[in-house]
Amino acid sequence: MSILLASTDFWEDMEVWSNGLQEVMPEMDVRVYPDEGDVNDVEYAVVWKHPRGILKKYPNLKAILSLGAGVDHIISDPELPEGLPIVRLVDKKLTHEMCLHALHWVLHFHSDQYLYRIQQQSREWIQQSSVQSEDRTIGIMGLGNIGKAIGDSLVNLDFNVIGWGARPKHSLGNIEYYCGHEQLSDFLSQTEILINVLPLTENTKNILSKIELAFLPKGSFIINIGRGGIINESDLLTALDSGHITATALDVFAQEPLPENNSLWVHPSVYVTPHIAGQSNPGSAARTIADNIRLIEKGESPYPIYSHSSGY
Give the nearer residue to ligand OXD in terms of CB position, either 185 or 273.
273
Closest approach of Cβ 141 to ligand OXD, in Å? 15
165 binds ligand OXD (CB under 6 A): no
Q: Say how far apart CA 165 and CA 213 lie, in whole Å.
A: 16
Which positions are annotated as active-site residues? 227, 275
Give the nearer residue to ligand OXD in terms of CB position, either 184 or 208.
208
Q: Say how far apart CA 201 and CA 71 lie, in whole Å.
A: 10
Q: Say how far apart CA 117 and CA 161 lie, in whole Å.
A: 27
| Of the candidate residues 20, 165, 228, 278, the single one contacting ligand OXD (CB under 6 A) | 278
Q: Note whether 206 and 183 are within 8 A (CB).
A: no
Closest approach of Cβ 292 to ligand OXD, in Å? 15
54 binds ligand OXD (CB under 6 A): no
Q: Say how far apart CA 139 and CA 30 lie, in whole Å.
A: 42
Closest approach of Cβ 280 to ligand OXD, in Å? 6
Give the nearer residue to ligand OXD in terms of CB position, either 68 or 282.
68
270 binds ligand OXD (CB under 6 A): no
Residues recorded for the chain: 312
Q: Say how far apart CA 92 and CA 86 lie, in whole Å.
A: 19
Task: Indicate the SS3 state at residue 106.
Answer: helix
144 binds ligand OXD (CB under 6 A): no
Applying CB under 6 A, which part among 11-19, 66-74, 155-163, 232-240 lies near ligand OXD? 66-74
Q: Note whether 46 and 4 are within 8 A (CB).
A: yes
Task: Indicate the SS3 state at residue 128.
Answer: coil
Q: Say how far apart CA 109 and CA 213 lie, in whole Å.
A: 18
Residues in CB range of 170: below 8 A, 6 or more apart: none
282 binds ligand OXD (CB under 6 A): no
Nearest to 28 by CA among 43, 13, 15, 38: 43
Applying CB under 6 A, which part among 55-63, 67-75, 149-157, 207-215 lies near ligand OXD? 67-75
Total residues contacting ligand OXD by CB under 6 A comes to 5
68 binds ligand OXD (CB under 6 A): yes
Q: Counting Cβ atoms within 10 Å, is residue 114 exposed (0-12), middle (13-18) or buried (19+)? A: middle
| Of the candidate residues 4, 25, 70, 312, the single one contacting ligand OXD (CB under 6 A) | 70
Give the nearer residue to ligand OXD in terms of CB position, either 68 or 147.
68
Give the nearer residue to ligand OXD in terms of CB position, either 94 or 239.
94
What does the binding site for ligand OXD look like in residue numbers (CB under 6 A)? 68-70, 278, 280
